[in-house]
Structures are given as C-alpha cells and as structure tokens.
Amino acid sequence: MITSGSNAKVKQVVRWKDKAGERREAGIFLTEGFKLFQEAPADSIREVYLSEDAAERAAADPELWNKLQRIGWETVSGEVFQKMSDTRTPQGILCVVKRPVYTLDGLLAESKPLLTVLDGIQDPGNLGTIVRTGEGAGVTGVIMGNGTVDIFNPKTIRATMGSVFRVPFVYVDDLEKVVLQMKQKSIRIFAAHLSGETYYDSFSYREGTAFLIGNEGKGLSAGLTELADDLLRIPMEGKVESLNAAVAAALLLYEAHRQRKHG
C-alpha cells in the first residue's frame, strides 16, 4: 500500500490533476468514482488507485471486483488518496484513462449527422451536461472551438457521467471554417439567438443538422451568427432574457430527437 505523498506515482497523478498541459502531453485524463470506473472501457484504463475503504466496498460487488481483478490496482492510504483527489468527498477510486481520439472528417462523414457546435463554453459543468444530454438525444458528435473549456477537466468528466466515453468530439482552431465545411456537406446550421424570430420547434431537423451554442455570457460570436442558416428563438416568459447554455442545447437536441424518432 502506498502511504507516502512523495511516492512518484502519487506525485505524477497530482500533477495531472492540476495541469491540463501535462494531461494533454501524456494523452490521458483522470476519472473518480465507481460509476465512471464501471463506464470506462477496460482497455482504456491505464492505472487504478483505491483507498483502503474503497477496496473493501469494491470487494462486495462481484461485477466491480471482477473488472478490478482484470485491470489491477494500487491501494493507497486515505490521506494519500485525499491528496490525489479533485473532489471534496472522494469515493476512493481514481483512474488514469487513455484519451479517445476522433477526427473532424469522421464526424462529418456521418449520414444525416446531429451535431452540437460549441463556441467558447467556459463552465466545465455546462460542457459535461451538454455532452451527457447529447448522448441521450442521439447526437452524433460535438465540435468545440479552442475557446471552450477542456473536456478533460475533472469537473467536466464528472458532469458527463460516463458519456465522455461514448460521444465523439473534436476541438478545432477555426469554427467558422468548419461551419463552411458543414454547409458544403448539406448540413443545415441553426443558432439559438436573441435575434431569432421563429420558434425552434418550427424547423425540421430530420436531415443533417448542427446547432450552434454560444458562450454563457457573450453568446455566439458575430462571425458564426452570420454563417447560420437560421436563427432560432426559444420562448421566454416573465423577465427571463436567455437560458443556460446547457438547457438551451437540451431543448434543441431533444426537439431534433423527437422529430427523428416520431416524425
């Protein structure tokens, strides 16, 4: 059992936890909690760390225990695990996971794709919720500009609740260029925007569709707004001017889901 915070493996995990650049360079990300361990593909898990208490709990769950036995793990003291953890009340299991790799060409090659294009989303919880909601609504990919928060941020990973392992995603340098590529492939571009005059449920999303979602405070950039085929309006009552980015994405994606499944 590892009992020292100065252990080389522990120090490396702590650096990965705190430094996105080091995670990116190593091609890994970190997950915490039993659910994310169970959701992660076994062949993507590089390392597993368990606190003493967590090891005892895991032994009582045959499915969980079998997966641990196949992969292997290191046991660490509770104090050391607390140092490695990014959560206030850790469950006692942390994994080092290989990053999945997708390509823009792969996302755009889908037949009748349903895409979410994110412009400067800053909140890790918002991004994670958009990815999770996207999986539920049948999204075929998430495309993010470099101004969007790191999808491998530990808070984002937790918010995806495992969807990060299944929803294809890419970061791109120039969202406007990518939108033009999508137009060439007959993907229709919709933007939720305060200037929109037509309610979002008045359009058809049965063919190739991309929804543009802007920054939580600034909204969608002028350049991307200009490229949208249609500006959508989400009905607002009272004095509410706009919705949370993740809520807006959920409304649009589930309307697309409804149309594609039920006509």
106-148 pLDDT, tens per residue? 999 999 999 999 999 999 999 999 999 999 999 999 999 989 9
What is the token pair recorded at 212? 């543009």
The dotted CATH code for 104-262 is 3.40.1280.10
Dihedral angle computed from the Cα positions of residues 178, 110, 171 and 158, in that order, rounded to the nearest 10 degrees:
140
* Residue 240 in this model has a pLDDT that exceeds 70: no
* Residue 260 in this model has a pLDDT that exceeds 80: yes
Of 71, 42, 14, 17, nearest to 165 by C-alpha is: 42
pLDDT of residue 75: 95
- Is the CATH number 3.40.190.10 carried by domain 8-98? no
Of 62, 58, 132, nearest to 91 by C-alpha is: 58
* Residue 263 in this model has a pLDDT that exceeds 90: no
Give the whole-angstrom CA distance, residue 137 versus residue 143. Answer: 16
Tens digits of residue pLDDT in 177-230? 999 999 999 999 999 887 888 999 999 999 999 999 998 888 899 999 999 999
pLDDT of residue 242: 66
The structure's pTM equals 0.92
Using N-to-C axis directions, what is the helix angle for 62-71 and 52-59, rounded to 10°? Answer: 120
pLDDT of residue 26: 97
pLDDT above 70: percentage of residues in the chain: 98
- Within the chain, which residue ranges are assigned CATH 3.40.1280.10? 104-262
* Residue 80 in this model has a pLDDT that exceeds 80: yes
With contact defined as beta carbons under 8 Å apart, do 208 and 186 qualify?
yes
- Within the chain, which residue ranges are assigned CATH 3.30.1330.30? 8-98
Using 50, 70 and 90 to split pLDDT, how confident is the model at 257?
very high
What is the token pair recorded at 249? 């994405």
How crowded is residue 65: how many other Cβ atoms within 10 Å of its Cβ?
14
Give the whole-angstrom CA distance, residue 130 versus residue 163. Answer: 10
What is the token pair recorded at 88? 């206030």
What is the token pair recorded at 89? 């009340």
With contact defined as beta carbons under 8 Å apart, do 216 and 249 qualify?
no
